Structure 1
Amino acid sequence: MDLKPGSRWKSAVCDVEVVVVKPPKTEATLECGGYQVIPHAEAKPEGKAIAEDFAEGSAAGKRYADEETGLEVLCTKAGKGTLTIGGRPIGAKEAKKLPASD
């Protein structure tokens, strides 16, 4: 899986679509809904459903990052699948706090 910056991927089982912001430092497999994501231009495979353990959803406009691999993706289309790396859920990044102004 070649997760280059700017590459577009989509879930094989739901509506989630992502763009890679930062590539992983090591080899990594990005998944959504329990299945490996596929290139954006590919057709979705038939007969697959979201795995029950990976159905928490992903929100559009949020960045998801994995500290272990360094991978960061931007979710461009929301869906019911959870983004994972090797079966390990990756969480949404929190927005940076701006300094208080007086």
Structure 2
Amino acid sequence: HAAVGGRRSMNLKPGSRWKSAVCAAEAVVVRPPNAEVVLACGGVPMLGPADERPQGAAVAPDHAGGSLLGKRYIDAETGLEALCAKAGEGSLSVDGRPMVVKDAKKLPSSD
């Protein structure tokens, strides 16, 4: 396990697309984070759409919760919000913290 010394900056701007390095998952940033963070899937930093997936990389067992198509994931600490554009085996995380599915807003009852 190599140390993450040369953290490359991720430009997590709204509308930017990211793909997992270890599974089929893809995400689109909906709301950018309030600090520089590393968006990861399956425990491995995500790649830009043009980047090649490394051979032999695998989902880390503690990051194998899966990503669900069409769900929005949020990180409460930084405000980062991402939409899962393609489902995968890896779960999304920010700086090692698991992202959680954002609940749909409850509509007020009309009675």
TM-score by length of 2: 0.89
**Superposition map of 1:37-52 within 5 A:** 37-52=46-61
CA RMSD of aligned residues (A): 0.7
Give the counterpart of 1:84 among 87, 93, 105. 93
Gaps of 5+ in 1: none
1:17 aligns with 2:30: no
Paired residues in the alignment total 102
Give % identity.
60
User: What SS is found at the alignment partner of 2:62?
Assistant: helix
Q: Which has a greater percent of strand?
A: 1
Note the alpha carbon deviations across 1:32-79, whole angstroms, 9 max, x for none: 001000001212111101101100101010000111011000001111
Which residue number corresponds to residue 63 of structure 2?
54
Q: Quote the offset at 1:86 in angstroms.
A: 1.2
1:33 aligns with 2:18: no
Question: Could you tell me how far apart the structure 1 residues matched to 2:75 and 2:58 are?
Answer: 24
Give the counterpart of 1:98 among 67, 83, 107. 107
TM-score by length of 1: 0.97
Moved over 3 A (4+): none
Gaps of 5+ in 2: 1-9
